[in-house]
Amino acid sequence: MNLRLGLLVAFTLLAIGAAILLPAVPQPLNYHDFADKREAFGIGNFLDVSSNIAFAIAGLAGLLVSLHPRACFAHASERWPYAVFFVGVLLTAAGSAYYHLAPDNETLFWDRLPMTISFMSLVSAQIVDRISARLGVALLVPLLLVGMASVVYWLVTERAGQGNVVPYAVLQGYSVVILVGLAATHSSRYTRGAAIYWVFAAYVLAKLFEQFDRQLLAVGGIISGHSVKHVAAAIGAVIVCHMLWRRELAGAPSARPSTTENLLRATY
């Protein structure tokens, strides 16, 4: 095992240890107290609900792209982590909209569950692109099961009166760090691999908007930070979609016509 891969494995073991050993922390109930409670068209919390359309658009577009013959994959099996990622984005649109209709721990479960599908499948996809296609595809289902288990565990402990959101929080943080770590330490077999940094930037921007939920609404009273968070996070999925549409195998001659070739075809 080389040093770079060893560091990623060590970080994985550290995250597992943190999820198990850190003291239990219940979900703070004030998390559900969002700034924008305005109703429109008979729908409460309208903008927090309707802004999830961004996830639906990004998820549908990405699913179509990941399954399209134009998308570059060295092997057909490499499509599946990306396809599952976009299925998770689509399900996040439904789950988050459902949660924001009546925010509480029970509905939050349906928001978080599909998010873990997206996080973990993207980790699988990056392992495919950067380390080993066979390993990445083989890890897809185990990663999904671990991600979903963290959310199920959280809800079960909340229902038992001993809530513990730590494993889910550790998992989310782990997936973000490991994605950036993979990008920094392992080159992609495909072009446009640096797009993952823009995905990370969109995630950070979304978290900032989430933190400034009330402050943004206070500026003009137009839209809250949480509603904008949904759009920023969906942009991250759009970046992945664009990457798949435009990328090629690294070092391979381009099979797509150049601008000059297109002009010549138009002329003749």
Are the C-beta atoms of 164 and 24 separated by less than 8 Å?
Answer: yes
Give the model confidence (pLDDT) of 15-47 as tens digits: 999 999 999 999 999 999 999 999 999 999 999
The one-letter code for the residue type at 99 is Y
Residue 63 binned pLDDT confidence (cut-offs 50, 70, 90) = very high
DSSP 8-state code for residue 131: T
| 249: helix, strand or coil | strand
- The reported pLDDT for the residue numbered 4 is 82
Residues facing residue 190 across a β-bridge: 249
Determine what percent of the chain is predicted with pLDDT higher than 90.
88
- Say yes or no to pLDDT of 260 above 50: no
DSSP string computed for 18-49: HHHHSPP-PPPGGGG--S----BTTBTTHHHH
Residue 241, pLDDT > 50, answer yes
Better-scored residue on pLDDT, 253 or 93: 93
In terms of C-beta density within 10 A (0-12 exposed, 13-18 middle, 19 or more buried), how is residue 166 classed?
Answer: buried
* pLDDT band at residue 59 under the 50/70/90 scheme: very high
The per-residue pLDDT for range 132-151, each reduced to its tens digit, is 999 999 999 999 999 999 99
Share of the chain above pLDDT 70, in %: 93
Confidence of residue 261 (pLDDT cuts 50, 70, 90): very low
Evaluate whether 127 touches 135 at the Cβ level (below 8 Å): yes
131 with 186: CB under 8 angstroms? Answer: yes
| pLDDT at residue 256 greater than cutoff 60 | no
Query: What angle in degrees, to the nearest 10, is found between the helix axes of 166-185 and 105-130?
Result: 20
Q: What is the mean pLDDT of the chain?
A: 93
Quick check: 248 pLDDT over 90? yes
Residue 263, strand partner residues: none
For 216, counting Cβ atoms within 10 Å of its Cβ (0-12 exposed, 13-18 middle, 19+ buried), the class is: buried
Domains and their CATH numbers in the chain: 3-267 (1.20.1070)
Higher pLDDT, 10 or 114: 114
- How does DSSP classify residue 219? T
Q: Which residue has the higher pLDDT, 23 or 1?
A: 23
Q: What is the pLDDT of residue 254?
A: 56
User: From residue 239, how far is each of 167, 197, 231 by CA, in Å?
Assistant: 28, 10, 12
Regarding predicted confidence, which is higher, 219 or 3?
A: 219
Dist. CA 10–CA 140, nearest whole Å: 20
Residues 4 and 9: their CA atoms lie apart, in Å, by: 9
Query: 92-123, pLDDT tens digit by residue?
Result: 999 999 999 999 999 999 999 999 999 999 99
How wide is the angle at C-alpha 149 spanned by C-alphas 204 and 102, nearest 5°? 65
67-100, pLDDT tens digit by residue?
A: 999 999 999 999 999 999 999 999 999 999 999 9
